[in-house]
Amino acid sequence: MSVPTSNRRTQALSLLERLEPSAPERVAQNLDEFHDDATEILLGFAFTDVVAREGISLHTREMLTIAMLAAMGTAPGQLEFHMRAALNTGVTREEIVEIVLQVAVYAGIPASMNAITAAKSAFTSV
Amino acid sequence: MSVPTSNRRTQALSLLERLEPSAPERVAQNLDEFHDDATEILLGFAFTDVVAREGISLHTREMLTIAMLAAMGTAPGQLEFHMRAALNTGVTREEIVEIVLQVAVYAGIPASMNAITAAKSAFTSV
Amino acid sequence: MSVPTSNRRTQALSLLERLEPSAPERVAQNLDEFHDDATEILLGFAFTDVVAREGISLHTREMLTIAMLAAMGTAPGQLEFHMRAALNTGVTREEIVEIVLQVAVYAGIPASMNAITAAKSAFTSV
Amino acid sequence: MSVPTSNRRTQALSLLERLEPSAPERVAQNLDEFHDDATEILLGFAFTDVVAREGISLHTREMLTIAMLAAMGTAPGQLEFHMRAALNTGVTREEIVEIVLQVAVYAGIPASMNAITAAKSAFTSV
Amino acid sequence: MSVPTSNRRTQALSLLERLEPSAPERVAQNLDEFHDDATEILLGFAFTDVVAREGISLHTREMLTIAMLAAMGTAPGQLEFHMRAALNTGVTREEIVEIVLQVAVYAGIPASMNAITAAKSAFTSV
Amino acid sequence: MSVPTSNRRTQALSLLERLEPSAPERVAQNLDEFHDDATEILLGFAFTDVVAREGISLHTREMLTIAMLAAMGTAPGQLEFHMRAALNTGVTREEIVEIVLQVAVYAGIPASMNAITAAKSAFTSV
């Protein structure tokens, strides 16, 4: 199931590229400046070990990710990134609207309002 | 778009029945004992206004709901209910496994471990 | 108890106007740009279904709202809005000070410090 | 403003007694078993330094406390304690119902449902 | 830096054994029943990739873990487990008392009170 | 154990100075503008009552603080302040890296990414 060490970083950045073509260079540089192991540990877990798995489509995984990030409300920059990533992986604007309304049910109106801000920004930029 | 007052409660309980056939009687009684308006206000918003909307299937909505509840980690009873509801609306065990692993990425290992407990309980009971 | 569809949006914006006279136009435009139903669903639930209810004064409701938003800490923009709304509905600065100190007890010093920032900004602008 | 060391514990337990007559003995014993300083540091801050302050009535403070605890959702036992304390300090059942509905607006339906459970338990026991 | 696939699970369970000698069998069985990959993905990330790293002692890492779990407040069972693990890795009761008091500063009195319950339970069982 | 009223503020600001030499003037002015009692109540509890206690070194306390603030994710400004304070009290960059990676385990990758942003900013400014 898992991936030989030497490929974990490469595969993680490859998955990240599907989320946003310009992201791998920017994100890897940011993490490499912090510590040599950060990209492999953090993105290797996130993308190589988990998000790249079969069983749910990447399209559905991005729907889940924006729902979770919006409900938690503690990572607004990453919520906006994943709003763009959702659009890039084929989630429609209508689906994002529905997710954002559903966030209001489970996490409250302010969480939903913050997600609307992130979604509108992504709608403009993608 | 929205629903005449007299039907909001009925439609909410009808949606809830699709999540778990035995739930409407139990949940409505619980809320009615608290206040006459609670079922319509809370379930009317959750189910009639939002979850019953088109644009995302109920199957996908339950996937989003368990992801959000697991990531927030503050409603373990409702997480277990929606694990069962997910199974009842056609989410597969494999999909639930993938959601639970993805929760670890965005909300941490303890949130994922709690979701595993809820999922295993639902797998046994449904 | 609840309100015919055609009036839910109007009543929600009317309540919002009591919180801040300039808010209805700005907030409704923001939500309308996102989706035609967003204002009615989100503000209809928040303001028409719940906040407009009798049983607690609007003054007390705003005290509760700033306490909750400060304790959760995930919607700083809305916390600042409701600090202004609290002042606009008759909550005194002394009461806001007491609420903010009480936030420290139940949600910790950083939550209280963030609420102080929001309160000071509202004190200047209202 | 603050209180000489020798009185901080006494005053904290005196305030706690107003919340629930049987609480001081139980809570102080629990904390004393943990560490000799715990009662004074934790309850001294909470009750002597903050909750005993003038500027908001104890009745209103308990309304704020149950709203915050319900919105955060991480201390169900203490939420139920403060539901009872709210009743003991003169908050009416109708006011608690309104607070619990307002929690749904700002923190979501699951938080409100958990608060209903706590409220119903308090309604039975007080 | 990272570990060949075939060893990740073994190394994770070996680290877990240092936290509590009886834990590997119980935890691995729990995760294996959920999905064949769960132990390696979740514990491999947690323990092999991160907690086993040098740079901070295991003793200090357990202090950090109980502080985080207590501050988040969403995994009471795991907080109690890590209270025991902290004692097992050489954290003293006095240090745990200090951590729990510091939790009150950053996350509020209820989070600290919940941590006291977990600590007292661990003090009894270890 | 605790401190006479007249000294609580002085001792709190003295501790704060050890975290960042320029902080006492800035923080006390900010709090004094809000309310005359805020510095003593909030910083007196945080620093005089708790953080100044023996039993854990200030160095270790700052490690705990950045772990908690990063895991909670609701006070990014204070997380960055305590990243600088950690460096000022002798926490090494390597230790901060390890804490930030451990945050990913217990609170998820987005919390860790936000902590990386705060850490990198502190690394530049201290």
Predicted confidence at residue B81, as pLDDT, reads 98
State the CB neighbour count (10 A cutoff) for residue B92.
13
Is the model's pLDDT at B2 over the cut of 70?
Answer: no
Pick the residue with more confidence: F24 or F126? Answer: F24
F70 vs B: CB within 8 A: no
- pLDDT tens-digit map of F39-97: 999 999 999 999 999 999 999 999 999 999 999 999 999 999 999 999 999 999 999 99
Q: Which residues of B touch E34 (CB under 8 A)?
A: 97, 100, 116, 119-120
pLDDT digit string, tens, across residues B6-55: 699 999 999 999 999 999 999 999 999 999 999 999 999 999 999 999 99
Nearest C-alpha in E relative to B119: E34
> D2 CB contacts (<8 Å, ≥6 apart)?
D48, D49, F5, F8, F37, F40, F41, F44
What confidence tens digit (pLDDT) does each residue in D54-100 have?
A: 999 999 999 999 999 999 999 999 999 999 999 999 999 999 999 99
The distance between the two most distant Cα atoms of chain F, rounded to a whole number of Å, is 44
Sign of the Cα torsion B117, B119, B122, B126 reads negative
Reported as a pLDDT band with limits 50, 70 and 90, residue D4 is low
Measured CA to CA, the distance from residue E87 to residue E89 in angstroms comes to 5
Would you state the structure tokens that stand for residue B73, as one six-digit string? Answer: 């980690």
| CB-based contact, E54 to chain A, within 8 Å | no
If you search the block for the tokens 């006070």, which residue do you land on?
F75
Q: Do F2 and D41 touch (CB under 8 A)?
A: yes
Paired tokens of C96: 């806001």
Asked if the C-beta of B104 comes within 8 angstroms of chain F's C-beta atoms, the answer is yes
State the complex-level ipTM: 0.95
Question: Is A5 in CB contact (< 8 Å) with chain E?
Answer: yes
Q: Tell me the nearest-neighbour CA distance from B71 into chain C, angstroms.
A: 15
Asked if the Cβ–Cβ distance from F116 to A72 is below 8 Å, we say no
CB contact under 8 A, A34 and F111: no
Mean of pLDDT values over D30-59: 98
Task: Tell me what pLDDT residue A55 has.
Answer: 96
- CB atoms D50 and F41 under 8 Å: yes
Q: Which residue type does A18 have?
A: R
Contact F6, C68 (CB under 8 A): no
Strand positions, DSSP E, chain E = none
Mean pLDDT (whole number) for D97-107? 98
| pLDDT value of position E5 | 57
Separation in Å, CA of E72 to nearest CA in chain A: 12
E68 near D CB under 8 A: no
pLDDT at D2 exceeding the cut of 90? no
Hey, is the C-beta of C72 within 8 angstroms of any chain D C-beta? yes
pLDDT the model gives residue B126 = 78
Measured CA to CA, the distance from residue A25 to residue A16 in angstroms comes to 10
pLDDT tens digits for A74-91? 999 999 999 999 999 999
**Residue E4: per-residue pLDDT:** 59
Share of chain C above pLDDT 90, in %: 93
Could you tell me the residue ranges of all domains in chain A?
Answer: 7-51, 58-125
pLDDT at A126: 78
Q: Provide the pLDDT for residue D126.
A: 78
| pTM attached to this predicted model | 0.96
Residue C63: what pLDDT? Answer: 98
What is the structure's pLDDT at C3? 57
Average pLDDT, chain A: 95
Indicate the angle between helix axes E58-72 and F93-107, nearest 10 degrees.
50
Q: What is the structure's pLDDT at E84?
A: 98
Confidence (pLDDT) at B3: 56
CB count within 10 Å of CB B93 equals: 15
d(CA E126, CA C83): 48
Q: Which positions ≥6 away from B110 have C-beta within 8 Å?
A: B73, E69, E72, E74, E75, E78, F106
The minimum CA-CA distance between A34 and chain F, rounded to whole Å, is 7
- The answer to whether E108 contacts C110, with C-beta atoms less than 8 Å apart, is no
State the pLDDT at residue E126.
78
C45 close to A (CB below 8 A): yes
Judged against a pLDDT cut of 60, whether residue C70 lies above it is answered with yes
Residues of chain E with pLDDT under 70: 1-6
DSSP codes, F58-117: HHHHHHHHHHHHHHH-S-HHHHHHHHHHHHHTT--HHHHHHHHHHHHHHH-HHHHHHHHH
Q: Do C42 and A113 touch (CB under 8 A)?
A: yes
DSSP A59-97: HHHHHHHHHHHHHH-S-HHHHHHHHHHHHHTT--HHHHH
E107 chain-C contacts, CB cut-off 8 A: 107-108
CATH of F58-125, one of 3.30.830.10, 3.50.50.60, 1.25.40.80, 1.20.1290.10: 1.20.1290.10
- Which residue of A1, A4, A45 is in closest CB contact with E49? A45
Q: What span, in angstroms and rounded, lies between the C-alpha atoms of D58 and D42?
A: 18
Interchain CB distance below 8 Å, A108 and D111: yes
What is the per-residue pLDDT for E1? 46
Is some CB atom of chain B closer than 8 A to the CB atom of D73?
yes
Q: How confident is the model at residue C5 (pLDDT cuts 50, 70, 90)?
A: low
Cβ distance B52 to B43 under 8 Å? no
The pLDDT score that the predictor gives to residue B1 is: 46
In chain D, the residue whose alpha carbon lies closest to the alpha carbon of E111 is D75
Task: Tell me the average pLDDT of chain B.
Answer: 95
Specify the amino acid at residue D13: L
Task: Give mean pLDDT, residues A45-69.
Answer: 98
pLDDT range class, residue F1, cuts 50, 70, 90 = very low
pLDDT digits (tens, 9 = 90+) for B67-122: 999 999 999 999 999 999 999 999 999 999 999 999 999 999 999 999 999 999 99
Chain B positions in Cβ-Cβ contact with residue F106 (cut-off 8 Å) = 108-110
